[in-house]
């Protein structure tokens, strides 16, 4: 049978409905046999990638925490060094003040003794 004879015997609407049914059957078998398999494989890969992203996010959180800790320790060391330097400077000023005071005391005492002896 020829397509023209089928078209003449059953009509265009019937032939179009049969063609549409075959097309729907072809699409259904293609989707179930080909695309579902590929989608399940892609789903497994996607889950693996999501797990890796979560691990990287956790690593970033840990690294950020460690970096903040290191920065806090450095800041505390700077503060301690600064306060230590200030204490040493004040101690130096105190010691130099004692030395200068002692020198002035000896100088005035010597001048007073010489003034007493010479007069």
Task: Tell the residue number behind the tokens 């806090």, with chain if given.
Answer: 72
Instruction: Encode pLDDT of 56-86 as tens digits.
Output: 999 999 999 999 999 998 888 888 877 777 7
Higher pLDDT, 60 or 119: 60
Task: Tell the residue number behind the tokens 């101690």, with chain if given.
Answer: 91
pLDDT at 24 (0 to 100): 94
Instruction: Encode pLDDT of 15-54 as tens digits.
Output: 889 889 999 999 999 888 888 888 888 898 999 999 999 9
3-state DSSP of the chain: CCHHHHHHHHCHHHHHHHHHHHHHHHHHHHHHHHHHHHHHHHHHHHHHHHHHHHHHHHHHHHHHHHHHHHHHHHHHHHHHHHHHHHHHHHHHHHHHHHHHHHHHHHHHHHHHHHHHHHC
Predicted confidence (pLDDT) at residue 10 exceeds the cutoff of 90? no
Calculate the average pLDDT of the chain.
84
State how far the Cα of 16 lies from the Cα of 74, in Å rounded to an integer: 81
């Amino acid at each position: 049978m020829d397509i023209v004879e089928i078209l003449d015997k059953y009509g265009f609407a019937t032939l179009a409905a049969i063609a549409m049914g075959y097309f729907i059957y072809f699409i259904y078998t293609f989707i179930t046999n080909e695309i579902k398999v590929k989608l399940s494989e892609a789903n497994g890969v996607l889950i693996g990638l999501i797990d890796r992203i979560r691990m990287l996010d956790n690593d970033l959180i840990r690294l950020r925490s460690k970096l903040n800790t290191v920065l806090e320790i450095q800041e505390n060391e700077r503060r301690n060094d600064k306060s230590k330097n200030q204490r040493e400077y004040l101690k130096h000023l105190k010691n130099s003040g004692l030395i200068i005071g002692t020198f002035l005391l000896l100088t005035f005492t010597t001048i007073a003794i010489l003034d007493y002896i010479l007069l």
